[in-house]
Structure 1
């Protein structure tokens, strides 16, 4: 039995149909060009990123880099929080000869907060973001212009989705990119250079936005890819987005078939993030997983929310407003308790032969999406 997917059928992908029941093999896919671009970009070792600083890491690990604040000693001191300082609350004694009659009392260290305050994402905030890879326009909105330009743009878009909540802009950067070729380590994935991640984190902090690091793992173990990003995840304004459509099993190649994850695997990732939250006293950390069809997440009932982690299921899929509503209804049916919802829109592909859904239409979905992402 095949899943009816709203337009998400890449070149050569089997076992899926475009909306309307037509075979993916006989109908040009609206996002086939994106998949080909992804394969070409990754196969080139993320060469398009060299203009963003750093040396492409290809299939290997991203080089070690200091956090954007230049400090490793206290990564949870409120990066991304307005008015925070790594030295605040150090409690250093007054210099010798000071006129102070008594020793300075240590200041109570403020707890790290989300970029715009507080420690809980929902229901106070609605996250609205752009995703992509710099220099690769076919892979999303972040592929055009500069990070600062896109951050300014997403700020404006986010306010259109407020609807009684405070908008929280998001930059969802592709940090691990599925690759059409195996690469030197056979993982079919490339990692974005640390210098590029740092550049986006700097912009996110400057704009008081959230940075999500998107993982398309290829054949690499998902948890390994998450752990490789630990130096960023110890910050209070950095979360994870998983793209299990690109998670391949043995013998599978990205672009040839849909990948999949499971409720158990998502729980393992959430448990790891929960451990970081506890160890560094971080605010709630988002864990998004994009889902294009029911088959992409196996045994969803095994998904277990973890303390300090906001699990967000984002409905993926290209198509007209009607087709996207249909995909939404299939994917949000029988949601596990504690799971939040997200919705994905495509500026170009959704508009091909139809039109892009308006914020009013997106907010009319039930349950109301708490994360809206544009590619």
Structure 2
């Protein structure tokens, strides 16, 4: 009997020890797991939502509707266009540009006046637009002809002159005289091809404030020297430029590029409906004809308004627009009555 009691007592002590060890093990296991769970919960709680890569869709579409200026035809604003990447200039700002070439006083106001005088005059235009449309901030720009069509064939027979880099650098320096100034590099290919000219400007287009312009007027397809008749670009060539810019934006983490295409006849842009839009590129069709107000309005109506692509621009000539009656230039107030309202204004 005593032996049996002794055995039972011994077993109870052993079971009690095992139980205590088990509790101790479970406690340690719980302690080793719990901090990880809490850490994960903490990470989830403090994780910030990802920022959108594109601009706010509501703000963008509201501004597009405002630029359409009450158009009821369904042409404007352009439907199904992609939202631009963050940092897009348009349509939240209006670009006011001076156009020309530093080698010539006859190709535009940029080059006609010394830089300080030019800036005084451009600032006056900026003020006029700011006063007329205070809801749309204005951004200054210098639109420089970096490849110029010329009357002589040159060594390679292409009838174009590529500006030396020191001239382009000079324009960049003039732009730095005023904060937030954009630079556009314009290409007149003449008998060359856009595929041969655009890549040569790549190092400049990698700069976030440098954008592109092309001029179909001087894009000759049949060997005719530039200036003898009006040239043309097809949608395929325009898409090549857009694809080139898109690639630059993606590879260099740049804000969207503004891409200006001049136009004052129907044939200057062919197959416009095949032009592709990208979040990385904002296309402006710039009404480039000169003359009295009614002629310019007619050109806008026939070739800009009727074939919508994305955004519109309007060019004003300090000299050519005043040659014929009523001998005056259009005002910002008059241009803002257009449908759609131009978001890029160029002075030559």
SS in 1 for 2:129: coil
Which residue of 1 is the match for residue 208 of structure 2? 236
SS in 1 for 2:320: coil
- Contact 1:154 1:170 survives alignment (8 Å): no
- Pairing 1:352-371 to 2, within 5 Å after superposition: 352-353=323-324, 354-371=327-344
Q: Using the TM superposition, name which of 203-212 and 323-332 deviates more.
A: 203-212
User: How many Å apart are 1:281 and its aligned residue?
Assistant: 0.6
- Contact 1:151 1:204 survives alignment (8 Å): no
- Contact 1:215 1:225 survives alignment (8 Å): yes
Equivalent of residue 232 in structure 2, options 235, 241, 260: 260
Equivalent of residue 183 in structure 1, options 154, 160, 174: 154
- Contact 2:141 2:184 survives alignment (8 Å): yes
Q: Which 4+ runs in 1 deviate beyond 6 A?
A: none
Alpha-carbon distance in 2 for matches of 1:167, 1:272? 27
Equivalent of residue 170 in structure 1, options 141, 145, 153: 141
User: How many Å apart are 1:221 and its aligned residue?
Assistant: 0.8
- Contact 2:305 2:339 survives alignment (8 Å): no
Alpha-carbon distance in 2 for matches of 1:150, 1:252? 35
Alpha-carbon distance in 2 for matches of 1:148, 1:266? 35
Which residue of 2 is the match for residue 124 of structure 1? 92
- Contact 2:99 2:143 survives alignment (8 Å): yes
Alpha-carbon distance in 2 for matches of 1:186, 1:119? 41
Equivalent of residue 111 in structure 2, options 128, 132, 143: 143
Cα offsets for 1:123-148 (capped at 9, x unmatched): 21100111001241211101222234
When the two chains are superposed, the root-mean-square deviation of aligned CA atoms in Å is: 1.6
Alpha-carbon distance in 2 for matches of 1:238, 1:365? 28
Alpha-carbon distance in 1 for matches of 2:195, 2:279? 18
- Contact 1:201 1:211 survives alignment (8 Å): yes
Say whether residues 1:248 and 2:220 are aligned partners: yes
Alpha-carbon distance in 1 for matches of 2:342, 2:330? 13
Which residue of 2 is the match for residue 56 of structure 1? none
Alpha-carbon distance in 1 for matches of 2:120, 2:274? 39
Alpha-carbon distance in 1 for matches of 2:116, 2:279? 33
Alpha-carbon distance in 2 for matches of 1:240, 1:147? 22
- Contact 2:129 2:138 survives alignment (8 Å): yes
> Which of the two has higher C-alpha Rg?
2
Distance verdict in 2 for CA 1:148–1:283, change over 3 Å: farther
Which structure carries more helix by proportion? Answer: 2
Q: TM-score by structure 1 length?
A: 0.66
SS in 2 for 1:229: helix
Which residue of 1 is the match for residue 9 of structure 2? none
Equivalent of residue 271 in structure 2, options 289, 296, 299: 299
Q: Using the TM superposition, name which of 126-135 and 144-153 deviates more.
A: 144-153
Cα offsets for 1:285-323 (capped at 9, x unmatched): 110000021111111111111221110000111111111
Say whether residues 1:290 and 2:262 are aligned partners: yes
Cα offsets for 1:87-118 (capped at 9, x unmatched): xxxxxxxxxxxxxxxxxxxxxxxx9xxxxxx7
Q: Any unmatched runs of 5+ in structure 1?
A: 1-110, 112-117
Q: TM-score by structure 2 length?
A: 0.71
Alpha-carbon distance in 2 for matches of 1:128, 1:240? 15
SS in 1 for 2:140: strand
Equivalent of residue 165 in structure 2, options 175, 194, 198: 194
Q: Using the TM superposition, name which of 293-302 and 141-150 deviates more.
A: 141-150
Q: Any unmatched runs of 5+ in structure 2?
A: 1-52, 54-85
Distance verdict in 2 for CA 1:133–1:188, change over 3 Å: same
User: How many Å apart are 1:177 and its aligned residue?
Assistant: 0.3
Alpha-carbon distance in 2 for matches of 1:124, 1:333? 20
- Pairing 1:1-375 to 2, within 5 Å after superposition: 119-162=87-130, 163=133, 164-207=135-178, 208-336=180-308, 339-353=310-324, 354-375=327-348
Alpha-carbon distance in 2 for matches of 1:280, 1:230? 11
Alpha-carbon distance in 2 for matches of 1:304, 1:330? 21
